[in-house]
Amino acid sequence: MKVAVVGATGLVGTKMLQILEERNFPVDELIPVASARSVGKEVHFKGKAYKVVSFADAIAAKPNVALFSAGGITSLELAPKFAEAGITVIDNSSAWRMDPTKKLVVPEINAHTLTTDDKIIANPNCSTIQMVVVLNPLHKRYGIKRVVVSTYQSVTGTGKKAVDQLMGERKKAVEGSLDAYPMAYPYPIDLNVIPQIDVFLDNGYTKEEMKMTNETKKIMGDDSIRVTATTVRIPVMGGHSESVNIEFEHDFDLQTVREILSNAPGLVVVDEPSKQQYPMPMDAHEKDETFVGRIRRDESQPNTINLWIVSDNLRKGAATNAIQIAEYLAAKGML
């Protein structure tokens, strides 16, 4: 099994290497890939150093699978070249997600739709993934009419530059440091909240918000589900959080809802208000599961529930989900 990690030196690429090792994915030969400026650099996997190679060298090596986390422009240009060489691409960018000829996959929901003909497979947006793994089992039981979601998203979702901005601002505030730091955002992020993720569109929503709306429908295979989102960047590191209000077609029993979620793959229910137990980013950090709590009936209208969902956005929201797709394909003999 030859495995290429494209974008191996970035935040998500580094996390992919870590998770491939943790989950003991059957890697016989690792091919770390990055842009020209990173070729020759070393990455480490299972105690061994590997030199980063170029895109052309990676294609020539004919890996079985290429895990892409190199940005949308790179994916649009290079994923088809890998696919033409017979390499299965699992892409973490937004490049292929809404392409009607490509599958958008969360393994717990729709991995069964994959075939050997799917050579470019899209990994959904991080905030969408953690939401749909909760929505899907509830939709099967009660039928979802409408979802209202507000997100509280980690700076790690933006990348290293944003992490450096947050840490630089914090160091300046605490120590009076005069060290320069990059600005990933147009405003300070420490002690602040920025209600914008990605660019604004003509309808007044951001691209991130419309991703959640459109990707949810595609993954769950139901265009009748209405989704409206407000996505917000906050100064935390461990993962993304979401306040989700769900209106069902049918009434529900809260205890049954908890049982459905407790038995759903990839979910952990943390919901003990009397003990002040609920999911938080610091608890989800470096974990593959999605955590759900604050489960309560919406008393303002019928058949509606409120939930709080937390997940590590670099893991289940990106790297882990991609590797779970690869694990499914390998188990089915499709790689």
Separation of alpha carbons 128 and 280, rounded Å: 18
| Reported pTM | 0.96
Looking at residues 197-215, what average pLDDT do you find? Answer: 98
Looking at residues 190-219, what average pLDDT do you find? Answer: 98
List the catalytic residues: 126, 240
Separation of alpha carbons 192 and 236, rounded Å: 11
The DSSP code for 37 is G
Per-residue pLDDT at 241: 98
Per-residue pLDDT at 57: 97
Q: DSSP per residue over 46-69, as a string?
A: TTEEEE-B-HHHHHHT--SEEEE-
Domain range annotation of the chain: 2-123+318-331, 128-313
Per-residue pLDDT at 220: 97
**pLDDT tier for residue 40 given thresholds of 50, 70 and 90:** very high
Q: Scan for tokens 């030199």, then name that residue.
A: 51
Confirm if 120 and 325 have CB atoms less than 8 A apart. no
Q: Other CB atoms closer than 10 Å to residue 222's CB: what's the count? A: 13
What does CATH list as the number for 128-313? 3.30.360.10
Separation of alpha carbons 103 and 329, rounded Å: 13
Residue 152 CB partners (closer than 8 Å, separation 6+):
232, 234, 236, 240, 241, 242, 243
CA proximity to 295, closest of 228, 238, 243:
243
Per-residue pLDDT reduced to its tens digit, 284-335: 999 999 999 999 999 999 999 999 999 999 999 999 999 999 999 999 999 9
CATH fold group of domain 2-123+318-331: Rossmann fold (3.40.50)
**pLDDT tier for residue 122 given thresholds of 50, 70 and 90:** very high
What whole-number percentage of the chain has pLDDT above 70? 100
**pLDDT tier for residue 262 given thresholds of 50, 70 and 90:** very high
Per-residue pLDDT at 7: 96
Per-residue pLDDT at 211: 97
Q: Which amino acid is at 308?
A: W
Confirm if 27 and 1 have CB atoms less than 8 A apart. yes
List b or e across 39-72, with b for residues whose CB sees 16 or more CB atoms inside 10 angstroms.
Answer: eeeebebeeeebebbebeebbeeebbbbbbbbbe
Residue 250 CB partners (closer than 8 Å, separation 6+):
142, 143, 303
Confirm if 65 and 5 have CB atoms less than 8 A apart. no
Separation of alpha carbons 326 and 24, rounded Å: 12
Q: Which amino acid is at 93?
A: S
List b or e across 240-272, with b for residues whose CB sees 16 or more CB atoms inside 10 angstroms.
Answer: bbbebbbbbeeebeeeebeebbeebebbbbbbe
Looking at residues 217-243, what average pLDDT do you find? Answer: 97
Separation of alpha carbons 66 and 163, rounded Å: 27
Separation of alpha carbons 35 and 254, rounded Å: 50
Separation of alpha carbons 91 and 119, rounded Å: 10
Q: Which is it for strands 48-51 and 304-311: parallel, antiparallel or unpaired?
A: unpaired
Per-residue pLDDT at 315: 97
CA proximity to 121, closest of 333, 289, 323:
323
**pLDDT tier for residue 16 given thresholds of 50, 70 and 90:** very high
**pLDDT tier for residue 234 given thresholds of 50, 70 and 90:** very high
Per-residue pLDDT reduced to its tens digit, 130-163: 999 999 999 999 999 999 999 999 999 999 999 9
Looking at residues 69-85, what average pLDDT do you find? Answer: 96
